[in-house]
Amino acid sequence: MTGKNILVGITGGIAAYKVAILVRLLVRNNNNVKVVMTPMAKHFITPLTLATLSKNPILVDFYNPENGDWNSHVDMGLWADAYVIAPATANTIAKMANGIADNLLLTTYLSAKCPVFFAPSMDLDMFKHQATQKNIQTLVERGNFVIDATSGELASGLEGKGRMAEPEIIYNSLCEYFKSDKKLSGKKVLITAGPTYEHIDPVRFIGNHSSGKMGFAIAEEFAKQGADVFLVSGPVKMQTENKKISKFDVVSAQEMYEKCIELFKTVDIAVFAAAVADYRPKSKAQNKIKKQNDDLKIELEKTPDIALNIGKIKKSSQITVGFALETDNEMENAKLKLKNKNLDLIILNSLNDKGAGFNTDTNKISIIRKDLSVLNFEIKTKTEVAKDIVEEIVRNLLSD
Binding site for ligand PMT (CB under 6 A): 192, 194, 210-215, 253, 272-276, 278, 303, 305-307, 322-325, 337, 349, 357-359
Nearer to ligand PMT, 305 or 391 (CB): 305
Q: Report the nearest approach of ligand PMT to the CB of residue 360 (Å).
A: 7
Structural element, H or E, at residue 349: strand 345-350
> Which of 101/261 has CB closer to ligand PMT?
261
Query: What minimum distance in Å lies between the beta carbon of 282 and ligand PMT?
Result: 16
**Burial profile 162-191: b = 16 or more Cβ within 10 angstroms, e = fewer:** bbbbbbeebbebbeebbeebeebeebbbbb
Residue of 1, 10, 107 lying closest to 51 (CA atoms):
10
For residues 241 and 388, what is the distance between their CA atoms, to the nearest angstrom? 20
β strands within 194-341, DSSP E: 198-199, 205-206, 228-233, 245-249, 269-272, 279-281, 300-302, 319-326
Q: 313: Cβ–Cβ under 8 A, 6 or more apart, which residues? A: 264
- CB of 247 within 8 A of CB of 206? no
The nearer residue to ligand PMT, 115 or 212, going by C-beta atoms, is: 212
| Triad 347, 348, 353: Cα angle to 5° | 140
Q: Give 195's DSSP letter.
A: B
Do 10 and 45 meet the contact criterion of CB atoms below 8 Å apart?
yes
* Residues 207/196, Cβ–Cβ less than 8 Å: yes
Tell me the sheet residues that pair with 280.
Answer: 301
- Which helix (H) or strand (E) segment is 334 a member of? helix 330-340
Give 282 or 290: the residue with its C-beta nearer to ligand PMT: 282
Q: How far is the CB of 316 from ligand PMT (least distance, A)?
A: 20
Q: What is the DSSP string of 56-124?
A: S--B-SSB-TTT--B--HHHHHHH-SEEEEEEE-HHHHHHHHHT---SHHHHHHHH--S-EEEEE---H
Q: Which is nearer to ligand PMT, 115 or 194 (CB)?
A: 194
Closest approach of Cβ 310 to ligand PMT, in Å? Answer: 8
Distance between CA atoms of residues 330 and 244, nearest Å: 34
Task: Examine the residue annotation and report whether 208 is marked as an active-site residue of this protein.
Answer: yes
Q: DSSP label at 396? A: I
User: Phi first, then psi: what are they for 2, rounded to 5°?
Assistant: -150, 155
Which one is catalytic: 5, 56, 71, 208?
Answer: 208
Residue nearer to ligand PMT on the CB measure, 118 or 264: 264
Nearer to ligand PMT, 9 or 311 (CB): 311
Minimum distance of ligand PMT from residue 96's CB (angstroms): 31
Query: Which residues does the annotation mark as catalytic?
Result: 208
